[in-house]
Copies of this chain bind each other. A is one copy, B any other.
Amino acid sequence: MTRLYDDPHRFTDDMLEGFLDVHRGSVVGVPGGVVRAHQTPADKVAVVVGGGSGHYPAFCGVVGHGFADGAVVGNIFTSPSAEDAYEVGRAAASGAGLLFSTGNYAGDVMNFTLAQKRLADEGVDTRVVFVTDDVASAPVEEKHKRRGIAGDFVVFKVAGAAAEERYDLDGVERVARLANDRTRTLGVAFAGCTMPGADEPLFTVPDRRMGVGLGIHGEPGVGEDELPRAAVLAQRLVEGVLAERPPGSGPKVGAILNGLGTTKYEELFVVWRTVSRLLAEQGLEVVEPEVGELVTSLDMAGCSLTLVYLDDELERLWRAPAQTPAYRKGAAQPSAAPLRSTQHTTLPDAPAATLVPGSEASQRCARVVVAALEAMQGELVGHEEELGRIDAVAGDGDHGRGMAKGISAAVDAAREAVARGSGAATVLGAAGDSWAARAGGTSGVLWGAALRSFGARLSDQAQPAPADVAAAARAGLEAIQRLGEAKPGDKTMVDAFLPFVDALDESLRDGVGLAEAWTGAADLSAEAAVATAALRPRLGRARPLAERSVGTPDAGATSFALCVRAVAPFLATTP
């Protein structure tokens, strides 16, 4: 929701004051809105856009070179007055005439038309183009009734670029109308936006549903549907927009995948992946697509797909450079360096590791290692959700996922190494490297280092003695303490690992067999993991969100205890 304001009634004025301060030097305020800081050249048509505010970067954010000369700024979602439009038009216009362009909403149509008449009466040749890109707002035979949504951006951009090229007023109006005729948008909404000072959103969409064809203020669309996967949404948007391909249009399209405010960049890129593929399948060539927030609606959740079918002229204007507070295009600094080949690196290749086969005894031992890792995999994958839940109390809930991903990569690498005839040390090293590389994150690097260090204390020749295994376990512990700098009591994996290693050592010194000693140590480790629930974690960079986790065991300690318990049965097979 919209949370930050001083006086909600003055929100637009306050917003403009901040905007003009940030972008001083490139834009200035005038009664009713904003114009470029530099005067309009006498031979240049002025393009003035506008509408209600709450749509940033639209509309004041696109005042600048190659785009608008001015923006009329109404209150949130409210048409500016005819007086506002008149004043901004007067401030922006020079000697070559004026084009107003705005979305096709009742208030905007009335006010901009009145301003046009008044300016015409004063001798300023003024035209108005209303944008009607929203295919969901009226059937195609009533295209003149359609709303303007993200297609505003296309029409304003094309008109602005044409004016910058010194088209005359007839020419600017012509390409603006052409761009509008060739622009189609379909949008969906997942949640409504909140007006500054309001307690409730302007409209709501039921959970896990989406409004199809909703306008940028929540105006009615063509229906409501279940919220689909990103790929399915992409398909619906593409199908909806392509349903009205203008006759005679060529293969080139400009495209905008627009986020309405809280549907974020990462999500838009996921959707775009499929949009791009589907458009290519239709034989369309996408020219300089835009994926981001261009025409928002405060904190509304949703997105829209806009296509503009380009002829050569529209393509040139779509590609033309622009420099505005919120939108820039065109190579400021073209690179002279050559493009990369598919082999991206510019460094010589790293030397490949030479493969040394293990002894027969160590190869046997390596197969036991693989079986033990597989047992860990079963345990970790089986507890993935539970580990995620525990982790979510203190972290981002991905511990279970990270461990499952890591152990699976480790098992794959270990199997491959065994198939190549490697001994136990090499197999554990390969498993550790793969775990760290594929899982990433903190647990990945720690487990990777632990396995590699564990393996490094064994060899590819001799069968390890029980004392070797205990020393290897301690080497693993030391590796993660070195990397993670965690001390006992910090509520980390160390709190389960340290008692395990101590108990293993002690039992072996007391003459207990390896399998029994490991099992006993694993039981102690499990108790220690449970006991971490009582610990208050050390704050700092190592433990994000940690303060909240008091009362919940540490996820890293818990998964450690699961692993050593899973491995226990395989120790019986070593002497």
| CB <8 Å contact, B14 and A397 | no
Within 8 A of B (CB), among A26-80: 28, 30, 35-41, 52-54, 56-57, 61, 65-66, 74-80
Within 8 A of B (CB), among A209-249: 215, 217-220, 227, 229-231, 233
Bound CA–CA A142/B541 (angstroms): 11
Distance of A180 from chain B, by nearest CB (Å): 14
Bound CA–CA A270/B196 (angstroms): 11
| CB <8 Å contact, A35 and B344 | yes
Query: Which of chain B's residues have a CB closer than 8 A to the CB of A39?
Result: 337-340, 346
| CB <8 Å contact, B267 and A4 | yes
| CB <8 Å contact, B273 and A17 | yes
Q: Does A460 contact B (CB under 8 A)?
A: no
Q: Does A559 contact B (CB under 8 A)?
A: no
Q: Does A520 contact B (CB under 8 A)?
A: no
Bound CA–CA A402/B81 (angstroms): 12
Given A21-B272, A111-B440, A195-B396, A264 and B2 touching (CB < 8 A)? yes
Q: Does A544 contact B (CB under 8 A)?
A: yes
Residue in B14, B196, B265 whose CB lies within 8 Å of A296: B265
Query: Which of chain B's residues have a CB closer than 8 A to the CB of A65?
Result: 332-333, 335
Distance of A50 from chain B, by nearest CB (Å): 11
Q: A11-B266, A14-B270, A22-B272 are in contact. List 18 more A-B contacts (CB 8 A).
A: A3-B301, A4-B263, A4-B271, A4-B303, A6-B231, A15-B270, A19-B269, A22-B276, A35-B344, A39-B340, A80-B440, A81-B448, A84-B437, A105-B544, A106-B541, A107-B444, A111-B440, A217-B396
Q: Does A378 contact B (CB under 8 A)?
A: no
Residue in B57, B198, B227, B440 whose CB lies within 8 Å of A81: B440
Query: Which of chain B's residues have a CB closer than 8 A to the CB of A219?
Result: 544-546
Which B-chain residue is minimally distant from A56 (CB atoms)?
B265
Q: Does A446 contact B (CB under 8 A)?
A: yes
| CB <8 Å contact, B540 and A138 | yes
Q: Does A104 contact B (CB under 8 A)?
A: yes
Query: Which of chain B's residues have a CB closer than 8 A to the CB of A14?
Result: 230, 269-270, 273
| CB <8 Å contact, A433 and B83 | yes
Distance of A566 from chain B, by nearest CB (Å): 23
Copies of this protein chain in the complex? 2
| CB <8 Å contact, A541 and B340 | no
| CB <8 Å contact, A483 and B4 | no
Distance of A3 from chain B, by nearest CB (Å): 5
Query: Which of chain B's residues have a CB closer than 8 A to the CB of A37?
Result: 339-340
Query: Which of chain B's residues have a CB closer than 8 A to the CB of A296?
Result: 264-265
| CB <8 Å contact, B137 and A541 | yes
Q: Does A357 contact B (CB under 8 A)?
A: no
| CB <8 Å contact, A333 and B321 | yes
Query: Which of chain B's residues have a CB closer than 8 A to the CB of A109?
Result: 541
Query: Which of chain B's residues have a CB closer than 8 A to the CB of A299?
Result: 262, 264
Bound CA–CA A258/B335 (angstroms): 29
Query: Which of chain B's residues have a CB closer than 8 A to the CB of A293?
Result: 293
Can you report 15 A-B residue pairs in the complex whose CB atoms are below 8 A from each other? A5-B229, A16-B269, A54-B266, A57-B265, A78-B440, A91-B344, A106-B542, A107-B442, A114-B445, A137-B541, A146-B541, A203-B548, A262-B299, A265-B296, A330-B332
| CB <8 Å contact, A345 and B544 | no
Query: Which of chain B's residues have a CB closer than 8 A to the CB of A122?
Result: 347, 350
Given A14-B230, A138-B540, A439-B81, A340 and B35 touching (CB < 8 A)? yes
Which B-chain residue is minimally distant from A266 (CB atoms)?
B15
Given A270-B15, A442-B107, A546-B220, A541 and B145 touching (CB < 8 A)? yes
| CB <8 Å contact, A217 and B330 | no
| CB <8 Å contact, A345 and B90 | yes
Given A4-B263, A56-B264, A344-B35, A81 and B444 touching (CB < 8 A)? yes
Interface size counted on chain A using CB atoms at 8 A: 155
Distance of A282 from chain B, by nearest CB (Å): 16
Residue in B15, B17, B266, B540 whose CB lies within 8 Å of A145: B540
Within 8 A of B (CB), among A87-145: 90-91, 93-94, 104-107, 109-111, 114, 122, 124, 137-138, 142, 145
Bound CA–CA A326/B291 (angstroms): 10
Which B-chain residue is minimally distant from A480 (CB atoms)?
B110
Query: Which of chain B's residues have a CB closer than 8 A to the CB of A540?
Result: 137-138, 142, 145
Bound CA–CA A347/B230 (angstroms): 51
Query: Which of chain B's residues have a CB closer than 8 A to the CB of A52?
Result: 441
Q: Does A476 contact B (CB under 8 A)?
A: no
Residue in B38, B142, B215, B440 whose CB lies within 8 Å of A340: B38
